[in-house]
């Protein structure tokens, strides 16, 4: 045996040694697990695996144990376990076999499904797609029932990329959200989350809030539409819209800051991520006059945006410094990741606009948040419910964990 090999584990069954799968089902009450293993302990069996789940007060407990030595001992064990189960009004099933669980196949991923509601039809369609791609569903559990129903499938035997593509198509057809994230330690490693601001972290478009104060909403909207038609690029449209704000009193900045409405779930998302040790940043094609305030209020680690130039107490209609555009957002994601010491593969980016696409594609996980179809189709995954905290479920964080983090919040 080479030095790098693990020594044989005492008590681990050989591939062919006889094992027993003991399944208990019935009304849950305290002491069932202790009772079953106390009953088994009379036969000196070893535990190989245990899985237990309680759903609406019913317990399913599966124990895989070594078969007891000696001729008739297995028969005695069976009779004793059945008698114990009956006395507790539980059903027991004992299946003889050999060895441990089959090792999970390569190609492992976490498939998170969000529905509001999550219908049986959608669940069937997702499961069928996984099966069609050669995947096996090894485990399923609920992450959350609020504000959406979120369940996670642990899948093996299917490559994450084709699974992601197939399930994205299915999700769009079904009106649910599905995220596929490859399994691995990176899912637990410290990460950086970078968000767009307008229509992502907040419900507003900041330029429109300024425009309302300047009385030029219609002109700003015209420029925005021209940009959407592809007649102007982002930088041109930014300069054209900011020019319309020239002469506006700088005191409007405070009014706009007060008008900004956070997206539902934004605080929960950020607070939970911070408590988990994530670093959180924002990048915006909007303005530092607003993002600096958000950074302070929300305790963000990074923030970058365009800066409206102010002279003699008035907006000049110009921006100063480097323009944050589509390429700029991706560049800032890389810069924040380098500063945070987080590899790009462990970053998450969230955004809604075409402007966010480079950033979403550069990140380890790009989440299109209530985005336009062109963005939704190009991103790794999409969330189409208006709650920012649902992104936590894509990272495998359960609602219970979110709520526990808040109960202990100061």
Residue placing its CB nearer to Mg ion in the complex, 151 or 308 = 308
Instruction: Give the separation between CA 20 and CA 129, rounded to whole angstroms.
Output: 33
Residue 204 as a binder of Mg ion (CB under 5 A): the answer is no
Q: Would residue 28 show up in a list of annotated catalytic residues for this protein? A: no
Q: Using N-to-C axis directions, what is the helix angle for 206-214 and 217-228, rounded to 10°?
A: 140
> Which of these segments, 3-11, 134-142, 199-207, 244-252, binds Mg ion (CB under 5 A)?
199-207
Size of the site for Mg ion (CB under 5 A): 5
CA distances from 91 to 54, 62, 128, 290 (A): 15, 12, 30, 61
> Which of these segments, 106-114, 169-177, 198-206, 220-228, binds Mg ion (CB under 5 A)?
198-206
Q: Tokens representing 146?
A: 């609020």
We find the least distance from the C-beta atom of residue 196 to Mg ion, in angstroms, to be 4
| Catalytic pick among 72, 177, 198, 292 | 198
Instruction: Give the separation between CA 183 and CA 127, rounded to whole angstroms.
Output: 18
Per DSSP, the three-state class of 5 is: coil
Instruction: Give the separation between CA 102 and CA 286, rounded to whole angstroms.
Output: 53
We find the least distance from the C-beta atom of residue 191 to Mg ion, in angstroms, to be 21
74, 152, 170, 198: which one binds Mg ion (CB under 5 A): 198
Q: Would residue 218 show up in a list of annotated catalytic residues for this protein? A: no
19, 122, 123, 199: which one binds Mg ion (CB under 5 A): 199
Residue placing its CB nearer to Mg ion in the complex, 177 or 196 = 196
Instruction: Give the separation between CA 109 and CA 182, rounded to whole angstroms.
Output: 4
We find the least distance from the C-beta atom of residue 286 to Mg ion, in angstroms, to be 8
Residue placing its CB nearer to Mg ion in the complex, 113 or 202 = 202
Q: Tokens representing 366?
A: 């790009």
Residues 6+ positions from 272 with CB-CB distance below 8 Å: 389, 392, 397, 401, 402, 405, 406
Residue placing its CB nearer to Mg ion in the complex, 134 or 386 = 386
Residue placing its CB nearer to Mg ion in the complex, 140 or 354 = 354
> Which of these segments, 72-80, 112-120, 175-183, 188-196, binds Mg ion (CB under 5 A)?
188-196
* Site for Mg ion, residues 32 to 91, rule: CB under 5 A: none
* Site for Mg ion, residues 257 to 296, rule: CB under 5 A: none
The three-point CA angle 22-26-28 to 5° equals 105
Residue placing its CB nearer to Mg ion in the complex, 74 or 235 = 235
* Site for Mg ion, residues 345 to 384, rule: CB under 5 A: 352-353
Contact status, residue 244 vs residue 220, Cβ threshold 8 Å: yes
> Which of these segments, 176-184, 197-205, 266-274, 390-398, binds Mg ion (CB under 5 A)?
197-205
DSSP assignment of 272-340 equals: HHHHTT-EEEEEEEEEHHHHHHHHHHHT-SEEEEEEEEEETTEEEEEEESS---HHHHHHHHHHHHHHH
152, 177, 196, 325: which one binds Mg ion (CB under 5 A): 196
Contact status, residue 194 vs residue 324, Cβ threshold 8 Å: no
We find the least distance from the C-beta atom of residue 47 to Mg ion, in angstroms, to be 52
We find the least distance from the C-beta atom of residue 369 to Mg ion, in angstroms, to be 9
> Which of these segments, 81-89, 192-200, 210-218, 253-261, binds Mg ion (CB under 5 A)?
192-200
| Catalytic pick among 100, 138, 196, 204 | 196
Q: Tokens representing 169?
A: 């198509």
We find the least distance from the C-beta atom of residue 178 to Mg ion, in angstroms, to be 23
Instruction: Give the separation between CA 167 and CA 173, rounded to whole angstroms.
Output: 10
Residue placing its CB nearer to Mg ion in the complex, 52 or 370 = 370
DSSP assignment of 187-216 equals: GTS--EEEE-TBTTTBSS-HHHHHHHHHT-
The three-point CA angle 286-356-386 to 5° equals 85
We find the least distance from the C-beta atom of residue 329 to Mg ion, in angstroms, to be 10
Contact status, residue 170 vs residue 129, Cβ threshold 8 Å: yes
Residue placing its CB nearer to Mg ion in the complex, 107 or 353 = 353
Binding site for Mg ion (CB under 5 A): 196, 198-199, 352-353
Q: Which of the residues are catalytic? A: 196, 198
């Amino acid at each position: 045996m080479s030095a790098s090999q693990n020594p044989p584990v005492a008590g681990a069954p050989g591939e062919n040694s006889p094992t027993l799968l003991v399944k208990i089902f019935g009304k849950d009450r305290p002491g069932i697990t202790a009772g079953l293993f106390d009953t088994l302990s009379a036969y000196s069996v070893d535990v190989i695996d245990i899985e237990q789940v309680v759903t609406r007060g019913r317990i399913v407990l599966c124990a895989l144990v070594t078969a007891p030595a000696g001729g008739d001992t297995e028969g005695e064990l069976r009779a004793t376990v059945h008698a114990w189960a009956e006395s507790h009004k539980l059903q027991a099933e004992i299946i003889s076999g050999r060895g441990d669980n089959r090792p999970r196949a390569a190609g492992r991923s976490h498939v998170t499904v969000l529905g509001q509601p999550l219908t049986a039809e959608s669940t069937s369609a997702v499961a069928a797609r996984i099966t069609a791609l050669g995947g096996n569903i090894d485990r399923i559990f609920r992450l959350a029932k609020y504000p959406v129903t979120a369940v996670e499938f642990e899948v093996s035997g299917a490559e994450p990329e084709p699974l992601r593509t197939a399930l994205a198509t299915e999700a769009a057809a079904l009106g649910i959200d599905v995220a596929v994230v490859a399994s691995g330690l990176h899912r637990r490693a410290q990460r950086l989350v970078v968000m767009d601001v307008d229509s992502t972290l907040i419900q507003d478009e900041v330029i429109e809030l300024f425009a309302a104060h300047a009385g030029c909403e219609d002109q700003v909207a015209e420029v925005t539409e021209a940009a959407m038609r592809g007649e102007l690029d982002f930088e041109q449209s930014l300069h054209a819209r900011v020019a319309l704000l020239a002469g506006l009193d700088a005191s409007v900045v405070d009014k706009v800051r007060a008008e900004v409405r956070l997206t539902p779930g934004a605080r929960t998302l950020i607070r939970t991520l911070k408590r988990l040790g994530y670093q959180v940043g924002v990048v915006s094609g909007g303005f530092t006059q607003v993002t600096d305030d958000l950074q302070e209020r929300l305790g963000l680690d990074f923030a970058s945006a365009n800066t409206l130039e102010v002279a003699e107490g008035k907006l000049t209609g110009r921006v100063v410094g480097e323009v944050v555009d589509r390429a700029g957002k991706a560049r800032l994601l890389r810069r924040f990741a380098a500063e945070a010491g987080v590899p790009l593969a462990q970053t998450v980016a969230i955004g809604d606009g075409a402007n966010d696409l480079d950033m979403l594609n550069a990140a380890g996980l790009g989440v299109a948040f209530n985005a336009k179809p062109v963005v939704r189709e190009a991103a790794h995954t999409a969330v189409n419910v208006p709650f920012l905290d649902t992104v936590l479920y894509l990272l495998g964080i359960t609602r219970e964990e979110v709520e526990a983090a808040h109960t202990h919040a100061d």
